[in-house]
């Protein structure tokens, strides 16, 4: 298992130490806040199981090819998101594709760390058993009062960034891998526990039917777009994350099986989150299409009415925080790896400088919920603008560029060479042909379709 660690010694780059370490780190980057509130909420809006089936089809037909493209680019180059393109296409102007990924990660982390900070505050509230004291309206005003205030969210945002920074300073193997190995299993266990509790509630059956009984009449064109978008975000595609992590993966690892396992772990977690949230939502007669408010308003309300609800609330917000952290460290690593490589910085310096930039931008995002809410750009607050540009512009552009690069610039031969570890693994010809087709034609078309529909 430990062959990965001595693989990169000649390049002086850090790397993952074990197959399990790579898998939990990748799954950690994929399992984020999106699985906890976005997935159950989208399932809720789009006809339950019908949405899940469409989503799964997209994960494997489009998500996996994009992920494998990023893997090929990252592992082949052993470089950061920008360096990878420059190394594999030294003649061209492909470096900008990597630069987009860096900008994308900066924007995502700026608002993501604010939401992560909300998670910290809510964990404190859970420890103080604050949720047991109020009704839904009180919890709703509790959230809006907190999110729009000036100081508390900034303190929490700072704490969240510091926690992410400390893990990344420790390096790939001793920081990211070690943290993911312990925290990802903990996260799964907590969510399974909450799901079991949720399934025993009176009226939980409706929630389960809602999740697993397909209602095709609720499927519209938007359902397909939502499913494709969620497959994209959930697997962290187009942000340079898989390229960066891929560059730390040994030549002996099977990247096809790694990608499949990551996609499965990510989807499994989203389903467990659905089983934890939907039955409870139905048992208490709440609308399943609540959006982000589901996590900070609806769920605390549900916890307040359960026996041992206070304890469940603590566990839930621990899980939320872990999910947020495993994703934020992967985004932070993209920026840090780039800084180390491009500007020959020491890891610690790169992390510190990045945190300063993220802290300033994050403060703007946080304050845009309150005192700066009148600062509008294209009709959006800073928080919403960063969210929109990263998700609807930069990630899509990053995904499109990586499949065009892998499919057309690198080509089938290099893809086959990477998938088969230079012939050491037997990869069937039909698989490589199908994958090449998906990478070259289906994935780019799908991304362009999402983009067009979002802009109409």
Domain count, the chain: 1
Asked whether the whole model's pTM tops 0.85, one would answer yes
CA distance 62 to 322: 27
10 Å Cβ neighbour count for 200? Answer: 10
10 Å Cβ neighbour count for 407? Answer: 22
Q: How would you class 276 by CB atoms within 10 Å of its CB: exposed for 0-12, middle for 13-18, buried for 19 or more?
A: buried
Residue 416 near residue 427 (C-beta atoms within 8 A): yes
380 beta partners: 377
Residue 4 near residue 249 (C-beta atoms within 8 A): yes
CA distance 342 to 332: 15
Return the CATH number at 273.
1.10.4160
pLDDT computed for residue 12 by the predictor? 65
Structure tokens at 386: 């960063």
Residue 16 near residue 249 (C-beta atoms within 8 A): yes
377 beta partners: 380
Question: In this structure, what DSSP letter does residue 80 have?
Answer: -
From the list 416, 401, 53, 80, the residue with the least C-alpha distance to 256 is: 416
User: In which domain, by residue range, is 329 found?
Assistant: 2-455
pLDDT computed for residue 290 by the predictor? 64
Sequence-ordered list of residues with C-beta below 8 angstroms from that of 411, at least 6 positions apart, any chain: none
10 Å Cβ neighbour count for 174? Answer: 13
CA distance 314 to 126: 5
DSSP string, 297-365: IIHHHHHHTSTTHHHHHHHHHHHHHHHHHHHHHHHHHHHHHHHHHHH---HHHHHHHHHHHHHHHHHHH
From the list 114, 243, 118, the residue with the least C-alpha distance to 235 is: 243
Residue 27 near residue 267 (C-beta atoms within 8 A): no
Q: How would you class 343 by CB atoms within 10 Å of its CB: exposed for 0-12, middle for 13-18, buried for 19 or more?
A: exposed
Q: How would you class 89 by CB atoms within 10 Å of its CB: exposed for 0-12, middle for 13-18, buried for 19 or more?
A: middle
C-alpha dist (Å) from residue 416 to 242, 410, 437: 18, 10, 13
pLDDT computed for residue 138 by the predictor? 84
- The tens place of each residue's pLDDT in the chain, 456 residues long, gives 344 434 443 356 899 999 999 999 999 999 988 888 788 878 877 888 899 999 999 999 999 999 999 999 999 999 999 999 999 999 878 999 999 999 999 999 999 999 999 999 999 999 998 887 767 788 888 888 999 999 999 999 999 999 999 999 999 999 999 999 999 999 999 999 999 999 999 889 988 888 888 889 989 988 988 898 888 888 989 999 999 999 999 999 999 999 999 999 999 999 999 999 888 888 888 776 666 677 888 788 888 888 888 899 999 999 999 999 999 999 999 999 999 999 999 999 999 999 999 999 999 999 999 999 999 999 999 999 998 899 888 999 999 999 999 999 999 999 999 999 999 999 999 999 999 999 999 999 999 988 888 777
């Amino acid at each position: 298992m430990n062959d990965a660690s001595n693989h990169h010694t000649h390049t002086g780059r850090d790397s993952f130490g074990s197959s399990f370490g790579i898998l939990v780190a990748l799954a950690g980057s994929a399992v984020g806040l999106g699985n906890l509130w976005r997935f159950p909420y989208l399932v809720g809006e789009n006809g339950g199981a019908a949405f899940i089936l469409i989503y799964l089809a997209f994960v494997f037909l489009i998500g996996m090819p994009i992920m494998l493209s990023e893997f090929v680019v990252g592992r082949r180059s052993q470089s950061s998101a920008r360096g990878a393109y420059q190394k594999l296409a030294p003649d061209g102007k492909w470096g900008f594709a990597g630069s987009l990924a860096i900008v994308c990660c900066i924007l995502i982390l700026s608002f993501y760390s604010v939401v992560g900070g909300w998670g910290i505050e809510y964990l404190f509230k859970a420890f103080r058993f604050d949720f047991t004291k109020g009704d839904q309206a009180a919890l709703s005003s509790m959230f809006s009062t907190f999110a729009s205030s000036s100081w508390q969210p900034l303190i929490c945002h700072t704490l969240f960034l510091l926690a992410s920074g400390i893990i990344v300073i420790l390096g790939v193997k001793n920081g990211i891998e070690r943290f993911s190995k312990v925290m990802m299993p903990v996260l799964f266990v907590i969510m399974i526990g909450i799901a079991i509790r949720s399934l025993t509630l009176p009226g939980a059956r409706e929630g389960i039917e809602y999740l697993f009984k397909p209602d095709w009449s609720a499927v519209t064109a938007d359902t397909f777009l939502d499913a494709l978008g969620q497959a994209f975000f959930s697997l962290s595609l187009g942000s340079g994350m898989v390229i960066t992590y891929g560059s730390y993966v040994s030549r002996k690892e099977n990247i096809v099986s790694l990608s499949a396992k990551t996609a499965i772990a990510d989807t499994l977690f989203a389903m467990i989150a659905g089983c934890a949230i939907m039955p409870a939502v139905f048992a208490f007669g709440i609308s399943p299409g609540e959006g982000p408010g589901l996590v900070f308003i609806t769920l605390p309300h549900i916890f307040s009415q359960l026996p041992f609800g206070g304890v469940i609330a603590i566990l839930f917000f621990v899980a939320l925080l872990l999910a947020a952290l495993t994703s934020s460290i992967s985004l932070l690593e993209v920026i840090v790896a780039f800084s180390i490589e491009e500007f020959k910085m020491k890891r610690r310096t790169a992390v510190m400088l990045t945190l300063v930039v993220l802290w300033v931008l994050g403060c703007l995002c946080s304050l845009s919920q309150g005192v700066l809410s009148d600062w509008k750009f294209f009709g959006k607050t800073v928080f919403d603008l960063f969210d929109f540009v990263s998700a609807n512009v930069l990630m899509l552009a990053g995904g499109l560029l990586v499949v065009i690069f892998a499919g057309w610039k690198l080509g089938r031969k290099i893809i086959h060479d990477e998938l088969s570890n230079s012939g050491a693994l037997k990869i069937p010809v039909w698989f490589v042909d199908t994958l090449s087709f998906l990478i070259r034609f289906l994935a780019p078309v799908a991304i362009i379709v999402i983009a067009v529909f979002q802009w109409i």
